[in-house]
A = this chain, B = another copy of it.
Amino acid sequence: MLKIHLVWVEKTKDAWLRQGIDHYLDRLKPFAQPRVIQVRSKRKAGAFSASQVMYHEGKALLMALPKDCFVFALDEKGKMLTSLEFARLLERLELQGKRKLAFVIGGHLGLSSDVTKRAAFCLSLSPMTFTHDMARLILLEQLYRAFTIKAGLPYHK
């Protein structure tokens, strides 16, 4: 079964967002094995500038990536896709034998260029800027949507 690693910075703060994320993680389970990996930030350690925090978060995200993953970086400057194009892309990766995907979401400062360089695909969810926490929920909903499209199923919330 396809493994999907969701790699992001720190725990999701709001309880309602955590519930929404769990809702779609559960919905994904018939289609894939999703696994959330949360890395620590130095943001609250003090004595670090914004760029240092971003650099360290980037290092931690890269370290947390399992081997041989096809890596998506969520990035405002990335490529936008329709939900259908996203589903077709996941389908193509599966046909190419990619069994492990990772989706990396930066902290509130965004992703360091170390991470976007490592990524095989930089994905933008919208021209609008979302909080990094909301991006988690929106990505998971799109993953679920993609699997229902791939399977030719009607969409069930």
Contacts and interface: CB of A to CB of B under 8 A. Distances in A.
Interface of A: 13-17, 19-20, 23, 80-83, 86, 125-131, 133-134, 137-138, 141-142, 145, 155, 157
Q: Which of A80, A83, A126, A141 has the most CB of B within 10 A?
A: A126
Given A17-B20, A23-B16, A138-B134, A82 B125 contact: no
B127 A82 contact: yes
Given A20-B20, A138-B138, 8 more contacts: A16-B16, A17-B20, A19-B19, A80-B126, A83-B128, A126-B128, A130-B138, A134-B138
16 contacts: A14-B157, A15-B16, A16-B17, A16-B20, A16-B23, A19-B19, A80-B128, A82-B128, A83-B129, A126-B127, A126-B128, A128-B142, A129-B145, A130-B141, A131-B141, A133-B157
B128 A13 contact: no
A142 B134 CA distance: 11
A52 to B, nearest CB: 19
A125 B124 CA distance: 12
